[in-house]
Structure 1
Amino acid sequence: MQARLLCLSTTVLALALALASALLQPDRTDAPVGLTSLAATTSDLPENRDTQLYRAIAARVAAGENYYEVAAELHRERSYPLFPFFTVRLPTLAHVNAAIGSSGLFVAAWLLLLGAILVWFRALADHGLVTRTLAVALLALGGAATITPAAIVLHEFWCGLLLTIAMGFQPRKEWPMQVAFAAAAVFVREFAVLFLLAMGFLALIERRWRQVAAIAGVIGLFAAFLALHYLAVVEVRLPADLQSPPWTGLRGPTALVQDLARVSWLGLLPIPLAALLTFLPLAGWSSLARPMLPILWFAGFGAVIALFARPNNEYWILTMLPAYLVGLAMIGSTWRCIMQTGISRGRAGGAAAFDSIQS
C-alpha cells in the first residue's frame, strides 16, 4: 500500500508541477525554450566562456603550472569571480584533463555511458523487456547527446554520469560500488554531497551501519579536501578580486523546464509538452522496488535548481542527467501501480457492502 501511495502522490506532484511551469513560463517569443542540443546551444550562450576557461586552465596545468595560480590568473583576466572560494572549481577534473587530454575524456565518457547502460539494464530486471529496452534507449540517447566538446569540460556532466551509475547498484548488496561512484562524483563537483547525504540517511534509517560508516568516511575526506581547496584559493586571491552574484534565482519549476530543454531533446517540443515530460520522470521513478534514493535525489536537486540557480547556471541540470529522463520508461509501471490501488479499494468496498447485505 505504501508503494501505491508513493506512485499516486508523485504522479499528482509531477502533474501539478508540469501545469504550474507551463502556465508560468515567461514570454519567450524572442528566445524560445531550447531548440537545440547542448553542443549547439552553448556556442550561442555566454556560458561558452566557462568551457573556454576550463580548457585553458587544463592546458596550462598540463604544461606544468600550478592549478590555483593559473585559475586565479585566468579568472581575473576573464572577469570571473574569486569570491566565494567555491567559484574556483575543484582541481580534480582539470588534472584529469591535463593528464589524458580531450581525446581521453571522450573515451572515458563513452566507457562510463556504456557502463551505465549495462548497470541499468540489469537493475531493471524486475521490469518487462519493453520497459528495460526503452529505459536504456533513453539513457543512451540522453548520454550520447551530452557527450560533446562543450560538455566534457563541465564538472556537472561528469558528476551526473557518475551518479547515474551509482544509482544503478543495489543499495543493500552492492553498496560499496554505489559509494565508490558517488565518492568519485563528489570529488569532481560538490553537488554530489547531497546524493551522499541521501544515501546516508536511507542507510541510517535501515540500520545498515557499515554503509553509514563508509559514507561518513567519504564525507569526512571530502570535507578535508574542501578545506584544503579553500586554503589554496585564499592563498592566491586578492582583496580586489570579483565577488560572485548571489545564487538567488528563485525561478521556480520553470527553471527545470527551461534548463532541461536547453540540454536535451525536450527542446524540440512545444512548451506544454516539454513541461509535462520534464516532471513525469519523477513519477516513473516511484515505481522502482526501492525508489526513495532517486526520488530524494531528483526532487531534492530539482528544488535546488528551482530555488538557487540563476538563468546562467543552466548547466547545473547536467548533474541530474542522463539518468533522470529514464523515469519516462517506467511511467507504465507507475500507472499500473495506481490502477491497482483503485482496483484494490474497489474490491475492498465491494466486499464490505456484500458483508453488510449479508448481515
Structure 2
Amino acid sequence: MKTRRGAPIWMTGATRFAGMPNTQARIGLALFIVFLIACLSAIASPGPRPDVDSGAAASSIASDAPPAGQTELLLYQTIVAGVRSGSPYYTVAAEAQRSGHYPLKPFFAVRLPTLAVVEAALPPTLVNLLLLVLCIGTILAWVARLRPAMTGLVPLGAAGLLVIAGLYVNLDPSFVVFHEIWAGPLIALSLALRRPGHWLPAVAFGLSAMLIRETALLYVAIMAVMAWVEGERRETLGWLGAIAIFAGVLAAHAHAVSLISGPLDRASQGWSGLEGFGFYVRLATISSGLDIVPQWLASLLLGTSLFGWVAWRDATATRALAMFAGYAALISLFARSDNFYWALITTPVLLVGIVFAVDGLRDMIVAARDTRRITVTRVIR
C-alpha cells in the first residue's frame, strides 16, 4: 500500500520518494542518516586547500616533490608564458616540469596542450572574461533547465545561488590556468543542455572538456552508457564519436611527449591514493562555496545535496548521479592528497541537490510517519 503524498514545496513534480511504502521510507531514512555519518568522515581526511600555499604543501607530500615555493599553479603559468613568448608547447612543458621536479612519464603526466595554447594566444584579460562568460552561461543554462521543475522564483533563485556556490573556485581568475577550472563548467553545461533527441551541443561541450582535461573522459563514457541504456542509439553514437576523436588526439599527445622525454626524466608515482570516500567529500567541499563553513556542516550539506539528486525524478538527475558516483569512486580510490583539483570536475552543479532534498526529505518523512491501516468491515444482511 502506498502512503499519502504531500503538496509540492519547491518541486512541481513528485519526488522518487513520494507515496513510497511506510517500511521502505523508514529504511530510507535510516540509510540517509548512515550516509550523512559517512560524509562526516571527511573531517579526518586529508585535503589541502586550493590556494598557492596549500599547493606547495600538497606538492611536498609527493616523493617527486618540487622545490619549496614551486606549485602546479606556477607550473601552468610558466608554461603559458613560455608558449606566449613563441616557444613550442612541448618544449616549454618539458623544461618547466624538469626544472620544477615534476614527472614527464607516463605521457599523461604532461597536460594536453589545448588550454595552454589557447590562453597563450589570447590577452590575459580576454581569457579571464571567457572563463567568466563560461561560468555565467553554466548558471543560466541550469536555471533554464530547472525552471519547469521548480514551483516559483524562490526555489529557482536558490538553485541559481547554489550553482554559483559550486563555481566558487572557478570564479577566481587566479586559477584560470587550471584545467579542471574549465572542464568542470563545460561538463555542467553539457549536462544542462542535453535533452532526448537534442544531444549535439551536449556532446560538443563534453568533447571540449576532454580536450582540456583527459579525466573528463569518465563523464563522456557515463553519458554514452546512459544513452545506450535509455535506448538513445544516435546519441550513443555521438558520445562514442567524441571518444574516438579524443582517442586520436590522446595518441598524438602521447607520441609528442615521447619525443621530449628521456630515460632520466622522473616518472609519476601513479594513482594509488586509496584515501576513501571521506577524501572525496573533503575535496568537494573545499572546492566549492562550502569552504566558508565548518567542515562538519559542509559534509552534512554535501550529503544532503547528493540525497536530493536521488530524490529528483528526472533523467538528468540519473545521469548526474552516475557522474557524481563515478568521480567519487575515482577520487576515493586513486587520487593522492595533492590532487585537490580533481573534485572541481563535479562541483559546479553538485550543490543544486539541496533544492531537491527539501521535497524529497519531506516526502520520505511523511511516508515513514504514515500509520494508515485498512479496516475491513463485513456487512451482514
TM-score interval, normalised by the smaller of the two chains: 0.7 to 0.9
Instruction: Find the partner of 1:133 among 157, 161, 172.
Output: 157
> Structure 1 pair 17/292, CA: closer, same or farther in 2 (3 Å)?
same
Counterpart CA distance in 1 for 2:30 and 2:179 is: 33
Counterpart CA distance in 1 for 2:29 and 2:234 is: 34
**Is the CA contact 1:131–1:329 (under 8 Å) kept in the aligned structure 2?**
yes
Q: Name the residue aligned to 1:67.
A: 89
Corresponding residue SS for 2:101: coil
Deviation digits for residues 14-49 of structure 1 (CA, Å, limit 9, x no counterpart):
643431342574398xxxx77x7x457657645561
Counterpart CA distance in 1 for 2:309 and 2:121 is: 37
CA shift at 1:100, angstroms?
1.4
Q: Name the residue aligned to 1:81.
A: 103
Q: Name the residue aligned to 2:346.
A: 320
Q: Name the residue aligned to 1:110.
A: 132
**Is the CA contact 1:203–1:209 (under 8 Å) kept in the aligned structure 2?**
yes
Counterpart CA distance in 1 for 2:205 and 2:84 is: 25
**Is the CA contact 2:56–2:71 (under 8 Å) kept in the aligned structure 1?**
no
CA shift at 1:12, angstroms?
6.0
CA shift at 1:262, angstroms?
2.8
Counterpart CA distance in 2 for 1:110 and 1:13 is: 39
Q: Which consecutive residues of structure 2, in runs of 5 or more, have no partner in the other structure?
A: 3-14, 60-69
Counterpart CA distance in 2 for 1:23 and 1:89 is: 32
> Structure 1 pair 170/128, CA: closer, same or farther in 2 (3 Å)?
farther
> Structure 1 pair 241/128, CA: closer, same or farther in 2 (3 Å)?
same
Q: Name the residue aligned to 1:211.
A: 235
Q: Name the residue aligned to 1:200.
A: 224
Corresponding residue SS for 1:65: coil
Q: Name the residue aligned to 1:3.
A: 16
2:170 alignment partner AA? T
Counterpart CA distance in 1 for 2:319 and 2:257 is: 34
Q: How does 1:166-245 map to 2 (within 5 A)?
A: 166-245=190-269
Moved more, 170-179 or 68-77: 170-179
Corresponding residue SS for 1:81: coil
1:298 alignment partner AA? F
1:122 alignment partner AA? A
Counterpart CA distance in 2 for 1:250 and 1:150 is: 30
CA shift at 1:247, angstroms?
1.4
Counterpart CA distance in 2 for 1:163 and 1:187 is: 12
**Is the CA contact 2:42–2:282 (under 8 Å) kept in the aligned structure 1?**
no
CA shift at 1:196, angstroms?
1.0
Q: Name the residue aligned to 2:357.
A: 331
1:354 alignment partner AA? T
**Is the CA contact 1:17–1:253 (under 8 Å) kept in the aligned structure 2?**
no
CA shift at 1:133, angstroms?
0.9
- The answer as to 2:164 corresponding to 1:143 is no
CA shift at 1:171, angstroms?
2.8
Instruction: Find the partner of 1:277 among 282, 286, 301.
Output: 301
2:245 alignment partner AA? L
CA RMSD of aligned residues (A): 2.7
Moved more, 88-97 or 319-328: 319-328
TM-score, length basis structure 1: 0.87
> Structure 1 pair 39/239, CA: closer, same or farther in 2 (3 Å)?
closer
Q: Name the residue aligned to 1:20.
A: 38
2:133 alignment partner AA? L
> Structure 1 pair 90/44, CA: closer, same or farther in 2 (3 Å)?
closer
